[in-house]
Chain A
């Protein structure tokens, strides 16, 4: 029999707006993409100095995950190995690859090289929160709700994880979009059922 799963929190960051559970909680259209992310970090008092060393993709992922989990996730309910992370995007780490590559002709930067893999953003989220469950990063042409739904469902059905952070984290030049979903087995407040239809609605910012 299928295990019931619910999307108990969402966080979307794009176009210099941050939405938590469908509501805009921070915006500033006057800032560039990178300045906006740094400003949000300060605004939400994240207090994690390693943030500044991260590349754009990891900063975005960490910011989105922090906002996703804040007041929506009770870490005490789960063992570290029970928290899974499944993310995806279409440009992998290309934004950082280019920056790193520019340093190769003079002094290759170790700090930049470290981020030339898309799954490092998962590493950063795991390190900050000590999440040790199964984690995967997929590269697709565009967001694939069917895939995310079936992959994450399988992890729950096989009891490999008890909760999951999943979605899309993309950064390329000045364009970026993070859509993170928190999936749990019990309902809460405004939670909706974890299925393809709801995932698509959330991704396309359909609050209606």
Chain B
């Protein structure tokens, strides 16, 4: 889980062009949207693309977004759960 979260932080920074940030700047449980990193709706869509590209997981219902992308940890948990299902 720790490695996954570390990977996710790097990927999020790259995918969302967060040039001024380093992985260590993003907390495991820090809210990604509104406060925290202050990401917006287009960033949410890019995260959906990230899930597909890197983890082959398709989030077809945009309503699930807020829960899944709450924090890096919630993203990691979602990925782990879905990859376990696939096996």
- Taking Cβ atoms with an 8 Å cutoff, the residues of A that contact B are 38, 49, 52-53, 106-111, 114
- Residues of A contacting B42 in the complex (Cβ-Cβ under 8 angstroms): 53, 110-111, 114
Residues of A within 8 A of B53 (CB): 106-107
Q: What chain A residues lie within 8 Å of B49 (beta carbons)? A: 107-110
Complexed CA–CA distance, A87 and B46 (Å): 29
| B4 located at the interface, meaning its Cβ lies under 8 Å from any Cβ of chain A in the complex | no
Q: Which residues of A contact B45 (CB under 8 A)?
A: 110-111
Within 8 A of A (CB), among B6-30: 16-20
A49 engages B46 (CB within 8 Å)? no
Please judge, given known A-B contacts A49-B38, A114-B42, whether A107 and B17 are in contact too, CB under 8 Å: no
Q: Which residues of A contact B19 (CB under 8 A)?
A: 38, 52
Name B residues whose Cβ lies closer than 8 Å to a Cβ of A: 16-20, 38, 42-43, 45-46, 49, 52-53
In contact, A53 and B52 (Cβ under 8 angstroms)? no
Count of A-B contacts judged by CB separation below 8 Å: 30
Whether B18 lies near A109 (C-beta < 8 A) is no
Residues of chain B lying within 8 A (CB to CB) of residue A53? 16-17, 42-43
Residues of B within 8 A of A38 (CB): 19
Query: How many angstroms between the C-alpha atoms of A108 and B16 in the bound complex?
Result: 14
**Closest 5 pairs between A and B when the two form their complex, measured CB to CB:** A110-B45, A52-B19, A52-B17, A107-B49, A53-B17
Within 8 Å CB of A108, what residues of B?
A: 49
Please name all residues of chain B whose beta carbon is closer than 8 Å to the beta carbon of A52 when the two chains form the complex.
17-20
Q: Which of B38, B45, B52, B53 has the most chain A CB within a 10 Å cutoff?
A: B45
Q: Are A107 and B52 in contact (CB under 8 A)?
A: yes
Given contacts A49-B18, A52-B20, A53-B17, contact A109 B38 (CB under 8 A): no
Taking each of A38, A106, A110, which has the highest tally of chain B beta carbons within 10 Å of its own beta carbon?
A: A110
What residues of chain A lie closer than 8 Å to B20, measured between beta carbons? 49, 52
Complex: chain B residue closest to A108, CB-CB: B49
Contact A109 B46 (CB under 8 A): yes
Measured in the bound complex, the distance between the Cα atoms of B42 and A53 in whole Å is 10
**12 residue pairs bridging A and B, Cβ less than 8 Å apart:** A38-B19, A49-B20, A52-B19, A53-B16, A107-B49, A107-B52, A110-B45, A110-B46, A110-B49, A111-B16, A111-B17, A111-B42
Instruction: Using CB atoms, name the residue of chain B closest to A106.
Output: B53
Task: Report the Cα distance A49→B17, complex, angstroms.
Answer: 9
Give the docked Cα–Cα distance between A53 and B52 (Å): 20
CB-CB nearest in chain A for B38? A49
Which chain A residue has the least Cβ–Cβ distance from B52?
A107
A49: chain B residues at CB < 8 Å are 18, 20, 38
